[in-house]
Amino acid sequence: MTRDDPHGAVKALTFDVFGTLVDWRESIARGAREMLVPRGFERDWHFFADRWRLRYQPALEKVRRGVRPWTRLDDLHRENLLAVLKEFQIDGLEETTIGELNRAWHRLDPWPDVVEGLGRLKRKYILAALSNGNVGLMVNLARHAGLPWDMILGAELAGTYKPQPEVYDRAAALLDLAPGQCMMVAAHAEDLQAARRRGFRTAFVPRPEEWGPKPARATPEGSDFDVKAVNFYELAARLGC
Amino acid sequence: MTRDDPHGAVKALTFDVFGTLVDWRESIARGAREMLVPRGFERDWHFFADRWRLRYQPALEKVRRGVRPWTRLDDLHRENLLAVLKEFQIDGLEETTIGELNRAWHRLDPWPDVVEGLGRLKRKYILAALSNGNVGLMVNLARHAGLPWDMILGAELAGTYKPQPEVYDRAAALLDLAPGQCMMVAAHAEDLQAARRRGFRTAFVPRPEEWGPKPARATPEGSDFDVKAVNFYELAARLGC
Q: What is the mean pLDDT of residues A109-114?
A: 98
Q: Is residue A129 within 8 Å of A142, Cβ to Cβ?
A: yes
Judge whether B13 is closer than 8 Å to chain A, CB to CB.
no
Q: Which residue, B76, B75, B70, B80, is CA-closest to B50?
A: B80
CB atoms within 10 A of CB B144: 15
Instruction: Tell me the pTM.
Output: 0.96
Q: What is the mean pLDDT of residues A95-124?
A: 98
- Least confident window among A3-17, A171-185, B72-86, B179-193: A3-17
Q: Is residue A104 within 8 Å of A29, Cβ to Cβ?
A: no
CB contact (8 A) between residue B151 and residue A139? yes
CB contact (8 A) between residue A72 and residue B176? yes
Residue of B nearest to A136 (CA): B175
* pLDDT beneath 50, residues of chain B: none
Give the Å distances, CA to CA, from B174 to A116, A194, A199, B223: 28, 25, 27, 27
Q: What is the pLDDT of residues A69-108, one digit of tens each?
A: 999 999 999 999 999 999 999 999 999 999 999 999 999 9
Whole-number percent of chain B with pLDDT over 70: 95
Please give the pLDDT value at position A126.
Answer: 98
Alpha helix segments (H runs only) across chain A? 24-36, 45-54, 56-64, 73-87, 95-102, 114-122, 135-145, 155-158, 165-175, 189-197, 232-238
Identical fold for domains B12-23+109-238 and B24-106, yes or no, is no
Please give the pLDDT value at position A222.
Answer: 54
**Omega within 30 of 0 (cis) for the link into A208:** no
Does residue A150 have a pLDDT over 70?
yes
Residue of A nearest to B156 (CA): A174
Q: Is residue A177 within 8 Å of A169, Cβ to Cβ?
A: no
CATH number of the B24-106 domain = 1.10.150.240
Q: What is the pLDDT of residues B139-158, one digit of tens each?
A: 999 999 999 999 999 999 99
Does residue A221 have a pLDDT over 60?
no
Q: Is residue A21 within 8 Å of A15, Cβ to Cβ?
A: yes
Mutate which: A74, A174, A177, A182, vs B, most B CBs within 10 A: A174
CB contact (8 A) between residue B137 and residue A74? no
Q: Is residue A13 within 8 Å of A125, Cβ to Cβ?
A: yes
CATH number of the A12-23+108-238 domain = 3.40.50.1000
Q: Domain locations in chain A? A: 12-23+108-238, 24-106
Judge whether B78 is closer than 8 Å to chain A, CB to CB.
no
* ipTM of the complex as predicted: 0.95
Alpha-carbon gap, residue B146 to B162, rounded angstroms: 24
Give the Å distances, CA to CA, from A66 to A16, A69, A192: 23, 6, 23
Q: What is the pLDDT of residues A136-147, one digit of tens each?
A: 999 999 999 999
CB contact (8 A) between residue A156 and residue B175? no
Alpha-carbon gap, residue A185 to A188, rounded angstroms: 9
Judge whether A234 is closer than 8 Å to chain B, CB to CB.
no
Q: Is residue A68 within 8 Å of A166, Cβ to Cβ?
A: no
Name chain B contacts of A139, Cβ cutoff 8 Å. 126, 150-151, 175
Mean pLDDT of chain A: 95
Q: Is residue A151 within 8 Å of B152, Cβ to Cβ?
A: yes
Judge whether A175 is closer than 8 Å to chain B, CB to CB.
yes
Q: Looking at the domain B12-23+109-238, which fold is it?
A: Rossmann fold (3.40.50)
